[in-house]
A and B are shown apart, each in its own frame.
Chain A
Amino acid sequence: MNGSQKLLIIAGLILAVLGMSYGLYYALFDEHQTLQGMGMSLATGFANVAEDNLPEARTAIDNFSAIQSEYVREVHAHSHSIALGMLLIVLGMAFNQIAFAEQHRFLISLALVIGAVLFPLGVLLQTFDLGIFAKILSILGTITLIAGFFMVTWGFIKPFSTDNSKEQN
């Protein structure tokens, strides 16, 4: 197993475990409260309408939207970090099949790891009041990930030479 494979497998396992741990924490301490908050905001909004109180209804709907936006990002951070972690592991196992030299494979694996960490982190940080920073982080993660994955796809489609797979550190 060469350096790029080790990097992908270890980073993938760590990312998957972190994603699962976050999911467990979220399910235990946050999810039920968040869902309740969303339901209550929507119900309060309609109840305000029943009482002809449009300004309060609007506030309740804005509140609903804010909680829903937070919920979507928290769930996406959880699911994407696990999915990307698993993808890094499986790519790690197949990385010797990519028709590039090991030094190029290592750079591609580095890009994939950076992207796989930055993207869910950026999504999660969007739930905090960090302004544009979190969005930039997730966009950077996406670009790095897609660029790395484009190279992986190219490497799998390119005619395969057995020399590539035998090439080790």
Chain B
Amino acid sequence: MNLVSDSPQRLFIIGGIFLILAGMIFGEVFAVFILHPSIANIDQALQAAAQAAMAQDTEGVYTHMRDLGMYLEYKGTKVDAHSHIIQFGYLALLLALIQPYIALSETIKLRLGQLYLFGAIVLPPSVFLIHYVGLNYSPLETIGWASIVADTGGLIIIIVCVCELFGLFKYFTNTDNQSEEKTDLLQEYRWESRVLLASGSLLLLVGFLFGAWYAAFKLDPHETSEVAILQEVMAESINKNRQNVAQALNQYGLHQAEKGVSIAAHAHINEFGMLALLLAFIQPYIFLSQKWHRRWIKVMVAASVVLPVSVLLELKFGLLAMILADVGGLFIIVSLFGMFVGVLRHTGKVDAGFGAAT
């Protein structure tokens, strides 16, 4: 891989790790400071709507439902911003890996890289702003300016991906390229890469199995019981039985929490598996002492297990599991930052002419 100055690979690798780090730090801040208060607001709005219904205050019901929608949007757009910025980081690393197989000029590849990073930097903050900008000054009835900018960012990324796909097809269809020897990214055996490949695929396999189990045995019952609980809330509201309404709403909250932690555990274990696989490729470009290099890998693999398992145990162990999950997230950020520093040191070495560029 070519990490010389102004190469598309360098842009994609540094930009990709930067995006992943930014997304993870945002996720950590969200988990510690925003998630639980916003869930409490959602619960309160639903309770207020049920109480207004009991009081036969139709106008009050609509007001509290609007609040509920607002709180859901507040939480949802933050989760979307967090997940999109990380996904764009992963995609940037992937695009870095396939650059040697893109049959386009270096200048075009570099411009595509810049365009990609522009789209990846524009979309997540725009998604974050959807809740705050709303429909103010929007030319459309249902979509606000923040959504329009976010969608434009998404379109830019799609265009870049289509161009990369075109370059890849060009490479594969050109018979001259087929005979050309490309340097294999993982040609030589490396402990660091091998550990990340094996642990990443194991994490993904566990994530897949958990997802399949959830889809087979939990998804439909969850959906059915959610309706049943809401029906009960309504029936008890008509009966004006405040205690039963409160009990049913509490059950609804627990049900939502159970669904939330299952989905979060599945998503995070898969994300970390993917991250480990991607990082396996950039290990030759991390300029750190072997001791620290391997230490960061061990920390990352251990934290990749700790976070999703702790998320899953949150309902059973409460605050302790939440703290453990946040500490796991923090260790992943720290280890990724350690590797990021290693990549920057490698590029510095290349720029100074002390090491091989590829």
Contacts and interface: CB of A to CB of B under 8 A. Distances in A.
B69 interface: yes
A10 B168 contact: yes
Interface in A80-138: 82-83, 86-87, 89-91, 93-94, 96-97, 138
B277 A61 contact: no
Contacts of B187: 165
B212 interface: yes
A75 to B, nearest CB: 10
Given A43-B65, A50-B58, A87-B204, A58 B168 contact: no
Interface string B61-74: 11001101100000
A interface residue count range (under 10 / 10 to 19 / 20 to 34 / 35 or more):
35 or more
Residue in A16, A138, A156 whose Cβ sees the most chain B Cβ within 10 Å: A156
A15 B230 CA distance: 38
Contact of B62 (A35, A43, A156, A162): A43
Nearest to A48: B234
Contacts of B101: 1, 9
Contacts of B57: 50
A64 B209 CA distance: 30
A28 B60 CA distance: 31
B227 A94 contact: no
A58 B216 CA distance: 27
Contacts of A10: 165, 168-169, 172
A17 B158 CA distance: 6
Nearest to B237: A49
B94 A150 contact: no
Given A17-B158, A39-B69, A50-B56, A58 B197 contact: no
B49 to A, nearest CB: 5
A51 B56 CA distance: 6
Contacts of B158: 17, 20-21, 24
A150 B62 CA distance: 50
A4 interface: no
Interface string A30-55: 00110110010011011111111010
A58 B234 contact: yes
Given A13-B168, A54-B238, A97 B197 contact: yes
Interface of A: 1, 6, 9-10, 13-14, 16-17, 20-21, 23-24, 27-28, 32-33, 35-36, 39, 42-43, 45-52, 54, 57-58, 61-62, 64-65, 68-69, 79, 82-83, 86-87, 89-91, 93-94, 96-97, 138-139, 142, 145-146, 149-150, 152-153, 156-157, 160, 162, 165
Given A1-B101, A42-B230, A58-B231, 13 more contacts: A1-B182, A13-B165, A43-B66, A46-B237, A47-B53, A57-B234, A62-B227, A83-B87, A83-B274, A94-B197, A97-B186, A149-B201, A149-B204
